[in-house]
Amino acid sequence: GAGVSQSPSNKVTEKGKDVELRCDPISGHTALYWYRQSLGQGLEFLIYFQGNSAPDKSGLPSDRFSAERTGGSVSTLTIQRTQQEDSAVYLCASRYPGSEQFFGPGTRLTVL
Amino acid sequence: AQSVAQPEDQVNVAEGNPLTVKCTYSVSGNPYLFWYVQYPNRGLQFLLKYITGDNLVKGSYGFEAEFNKSQTSFHLKKPSALVSDSALYFCAVNPRNAGNMLTFGGGTRLMVKP
C-alpha cells in the first residue's frame, strides 16, 4: 500500500511568515510522529500523537511550533513567525502497535 | 537522559569488503534498538530492529546487527558491501516509553567504492 506522504516536498518562506506542513500517515496507523532533521541538531523528536489521546509535545522547541491531527489521520505541523534556525527537513512517521516507525520523504523548509 | 553515539561521521569501504557501522547507546533499562538508512532526498528506511532474544539480528538488504548488552553497542554489519549501499545510516533507540519516540545518533555516511 501507499507509504507516508508529506507535502509540500520543498517550502521556501521569508522570515516572519507562518508555514504549514502536512503529513498523511499510512492508513490504519494509530501513532504519528514529527521529527526535525537539521545540520546542527541532527534528528530530533518534535511531537507524538496516539489515537485520541492528548499529544506529547515535549520535543517542540518553542511555542511558535504547534501540530494537530484531525480525525486520527492527517496531521499538520504549523510554524509561526518562522526564523532562519527553523530551516530543516521535517519528517513525519507513523506506526501501528508493535511495528517500527515508517517515515515519509520529508519537507525541506528554507527560511530566508 | 538517553543518548546514542555514532563515533564515525564517515566510513569508507571497498566494494566486496565487509563493513561495520558503529553505534553505542546510553539508556536505562532494556531499550529497543533500530537501524535506519537514508538515501539522498529520501526519508528514512527501516533496516532492522532488536527487541529481545538472539543478539544477532538480520534485516533488509543483507544487513545485520549485533546487540551487546555489556558494551551497550548495536553495530551494523554486512559481509560484502555494494556500491549501492552508499547512504547515511542512523542508529536509534526507544527506551520502551509510552510514546515509543526514537532518539537518533548523529548518523554515519557510508561510502562504498568500486
Nearest of A8, A23, A42 to residue B38 by alpha carbon:
A42
Q: pLDDT class for A98, splitting at 50, 70, 90?
A: confident
**A91–B44: do the CB atoms touch at under 8 Å?**
yes
Per-residue pLDDT of chain B (114 residues; tens, 9 = 90+): 789 999 999 999 999 999 999 999 998 888 899 999 999 878 899 999 999 889 999 999 999 999 999 999 999 999 999 999 999 999 999 987 767 889 999 999 999 999
**B46–A102: do the CB atoms touch at under 8 Å?**
yes
Chain B: nearest CA to A43, how far in angstroms? 6
Residues 35-74 (A) with a CB less than 8 A from some CB of B: 35, 42-45, 48, 50, 56, 59
Residue A86 corresponds to which cell in the numbers above? 527553523
pLDDT value, residue A91: 97
| Chain B residues touching A44 at Cβ < 8 A | 104
Chain B: nearest CA to A112, how far in angstroms? 20
C-alpha to C-alpha distance for A9 and A83, rounded to whole angstroms: 19
| Chain B residues touching A106 at Cβ < 8 A | 43
Query: A65 by DSSP, 3-state: which?
Result: strand
Among B49, B101, B107, select the one facing A33 at the smallest CB separation.
Answer: B101
User: What is the mean predicted confidence (pLDDT) over A104-110?
Assistant: 96
Nearest of A92, A97, A67, A74 to residue A27 by alpha carbon:
A74
Question: Which residues partner with B12 through β-bridges?
Answer: B111
Nearest of B89, B49, B106, B94 to residue A48 by alpha carbon:
B94
pLDDT tens across A22-35, in order?
Answer: 999 999 999 999 99
pLDDT value, residue B98: 64
C-alpha to C-alpha distance for A63 and B93, rounded to whole angstroms: 27
Contacts of residue B77, defined as CB under 8 A and 6 or more positions apart, other chains included, come to B18, B19, B20, B21, B63, B64, B65, B66
pLDDT value, residue A90: 97
- Specify whether the CB–CB gap between A23 and A6 falls below 8 A: yes
- Chain A within 8 Å of B39 (Cβ-Cβ)? no
pLDDT value, residue B28: 82
- Chain B within 8 Å of A104 (Cβ-Cβ)? yes
- Specify whether the CB–CB gap between B91 and B76 falls below 8 A: yes
- A67 vs B99, residue with greater confidence: A67
Nearest of B52, B56, B50 to residue B35 by alpha carbon:
B50
Q: Using CB atoms within 10 Å of the CB of residue A112, give its burial: 0 to 12 exposed, 13 to 18 middle, 19+ buried.
A: exposed
- Specify whether the CB–CB gap between B19 and B110 falls below 8 A: yes
Chain B: nearest CA to A14, how far in angstroms? 23
Average pLDDT, chain A: 94
The answer, yes or no, to whether residue A8 has pLDDT greater than 90, is yes
pLDDT value, residue A1: 55
Among B36, B43, B90, select the one facing A105 at the smallest CB separation.
Answer: B43
- Report DSSP state, residue B14: E
Q: What is the CA radius of gyration of chain A?
A: 13
Chain A: nearest CA to B34, how far in angstroms? 8
**A105–B42: do the CB atoms touch at under 8 Å?**
yes
